[in-house]
Amino acid sequence: MNRLFVVSNRVPLPEKGAQAGGLATALQPLLEREGGVWFGWSGATAAKAAEQPARISHAGRVTYATIDLSKAEHDGYYANFANGVLWPLLHSLPEMMRFDRGDAETYFATNARFADTLVPLLQDEDLVWVHDYHFLPLPGLLRARGVANPIGFFLHIPFPSAEILALAPPAGKLIAALLQADVIGFQTSADLRNFAAAATTLTGARQIAAERLEIDGRRVQLGVFPAEIDAEEFAAAALRAARSPTVERLRRSLGGQCLILGVDRLDPTKGLVQRLAGYRRFLETEATWHRRVTFLQIAPVSRQDVASYQALRAELSQLAGEINSECGDPDWSPLRLITKGGPRTTLAGYMRAARVGLVTPLRDGMNLVAKEYVAAQDPEDPGVLVLSRFAGAAQQLDAALLVNPNDPDAIAEAIARALAMDLRERQTRWRAMWQAVTENSPLDWGLGFLRVLVQSASKPTAQVAPPHAKPLAPRHTPALHTPSNAIN
């Protein structure tokens, strides 16, 4: 019988409301059904780091255990190293990396504080599932503190070549610590291959099978686990939202024009500058579509304390102004750029109303927006997905119009083709993609990873509990009052 401990940088605390994002979307269904503990940062910062136990709260079958970060930890661990070094590097954008040794030291020290806070909460039977680039060294730090529990790790973003990863001075140390996990999961087979190459190049690991490494007498299982959405649920939400006053106002504002839609965080990896360049080229070369289309790009601001994100926001605003002033008319603005988010249900309604969905990141681990756009469509009159071939989702959604996001002419041609595509081809392409997004759910994804973790863990006593097994009482931390999971 195993209780599940999920570890992620941000914890979606219930009192803060429903939170969008790939990680929350993927994990919430699993924890809500099976129960467990979600551990990580509260999202709050304090003047100084406080050595104190995790703050505990409960909602349904889920226990939330969080700590605050100090201002110095937030800046060094989160903003400067995780998002200023690892994020661009793992997306194969090394030119955006800004390395400082002090930030790297803060990153490791903050991971150590997370480990110190987590260890007293664990029971012998628990499964530990660590998520994403914020916690690359955490498996090794937990092992160093005597944790023998099964530890899994999943990377939600891409993994680069060994040569690119090596540009970060602590790359070898990071990979060596990560290899203390029992199972390491990736979004695509290309990410897995890149990691295996980096592990053998930068550490003493040896690849003994396509999905297995050996280091210091231990075997580490690798696996590909594409993140999923609940397509049926999202489709139903989109259908309801399409009839809402908010979506109806958008539809009326279009005045019969076709809607082209992009929904992305305002992030350099999302290819927003390149996307606007492609749309501009479309307007320049396809004059017959003037006044017949409107492009709505929703790009909520994020990581506003990172310089590259601030620069991107300014550049996008300038490009949007240029497009509207040079290509528009007094009574027609070809582009609407919105840098604030909205409810996920409203976005679902916008997706259903859009004739073209533009999802063109420079690189992306998966990109669930692409899958959500497919799920939101009207089967009788579906829109067309234009998708970057460098998004992980392109492997499953190969019936989309695949483009190289660095080529504005390719984006322009795909937009024109999507707008002119006849109903029969749109339906054929949509049905193929609908089949792909309905094959698995987020719950299937989570349970699939945990089955591999239980089977592969070095701890031989790990057992799988039958569904709805009697909960274990917490052994070391009675304040948690958390039922154990039934991983089936």
With 80 as the cut, is the pLDDT of residue 463 above it? no
Residue 152: how many CB atoms within 10 A of its CB? 28
- Predicted TM-score (pTM) of the model is 0.91
Q: Judge whether 488 lies within some domain.
A: no
With 70 as the cut, is the pLDDT of residue 484 above it? no
Phi, psi of 293, rounded to the nearest 5 degrees: -135, 155
DSSP labels for 344-365?
Answer: HHHHHHHHHH-SEEEE--SSBS
Whether 97 and 129 map to the same domain: the answer is yes
What is the pLDDT at residue 339? 93
In percent, the amount of the chain with pLDDT more than 90 equals: 83
Residue 218: how many CB atoms within 10 A of its CB? 14
Q: Judge whether 475 lies within some domain.
A: no
What six digits make up the tokens of 27? 């994990």
DSSP labels for 39-74?
Answer: EEEEEEEESS----PPEEEEETTEEEEEEEEEHHHI
Contact 38, 29 (CB under 8 A): no
What six digits make up the tokens of 72? 């110095």
Contact 129, 6 (CB under 8 A): yes
Whether 296 and 249 map to the same domain: the answer is yes
Contact 68, 50 (CB under 8 A): yes
Whether 222 and 336 map to the same domain: the answer is no
From residue 160, alpha-carbon distances to 164, 224, 418 in Å are 6, 15, 31
pLDDT in tens, 85-99: 999 999 999 999 999
Q: Judge whether 316 lies within some domain.
A: yes
Least confidently predicted of 373-387, 389-403, 456-470? 456-470
Whether 75 and 58 map to the same domain: the answer is yes
DSSP labels for 363-430?
Answer: SBS--HHHHHHHHHS-TTS--EEEEETTBGGGGT-TTSEEE-TT-HHHHHHHHHHHHH--HHHHHHHH
What six digits make up the tokens of 121? 């909460």
Give the pLDDT mean for 14-41: 81
What is the pLDDT at residue 457? 79
Whether 191 and 263 map to the same domain: the answer is no
CATH of the domain at 261: 3.40.50.2000
Give the pLDDT mean for 444-454: 95
Averaged pLDDT score across all residues of the chain: 91
Cα–Cα distance between 421 and 383 in angstroms, integer?
Answer: 9
With 80 as the cut, is the pLDDT of residue 50 above it? no
Whether 66 and 95 map to the same domain: the answer is yes
Contact 421, 112 (CB under 8 A): no
Q: Judge whether 483 lies within some domain.
A: no
Whether 290 and 406 map to the same domain: the answer is yes
Greater pLDDT, 168 or 465: 168
Whether 418 and 269 map to the same domain: the answer is yes
With 90 as the cut, is the pLDDT of residue 471 above it? no
Whether 283 and 222 map to the same domain: the answer is no
Q: Judge whether 487 lies within some domain.
A: no
Q: Judge whether 476 lies within some domain.
A: no
What is the pLDDT at residue 460? 46
Q: Torsion angle, CA of 424/425/431/437, rounded to 10 degrees?
A: -150
Give the pLDDT mean for 239-246: 96
With 60 as the cut, is the pLDDT of residue 1 above it? no
What is the pLDDT at residue 17? 60
With 70 as the cut, is the pLDDT of residue 244 above it? yes
Indicate which residues carry an active-site annotation: 156, 364
From residue 344, alpha-carbon distances to 93, 215, 372, 377, 440 in Å are 29, 43, 10, 15, 20
Whether 80 and 167 map to the same domain: the answer is yes
Identify residue 337 by its one-letter amino acid code. L
Q: Judge whether 470 lies within some domain.
A: no
pLDDT in tens, 277-329: 999 999 999 999 999 999 999 999 887 777 788 889 999 999 999 999 999 99
pLDDT in tens, 222-237: 999 999 999 999 999 9
Whether 55 and 108 map to the same domain: the answer is yes
Instruction: Name the residue range of residue 126's domain.
Output: 4-227+440-456
What is the pLDDT at residue 479? 42
What is the pLDDT at residue 144? 98
Structure confidence at residue 472 as a pLDDT band (50, 70, 90):
very low
Rounded to 10 deg, the angle between the 307-327 and 272-285 helix axes is 10
Q: How far is CA 453 from the centre of its chain?
A: 21
What is the pLDDT at residue 261? 98
Structure confidence at residue 208 as a pLDDT band (50, 70, 90):
very high
Number of domains forming the structure of the chain:
2
pLDDT in tens, 89-142: 999 999 999 999 999 999 999 999 999 999 999 999 899 999 999 999 999 999
Structure confidence at residue 51 as a pLDDT band (50, 70, 90):
confident
Whether 307 and 290 map to the same domain: the answer is yes
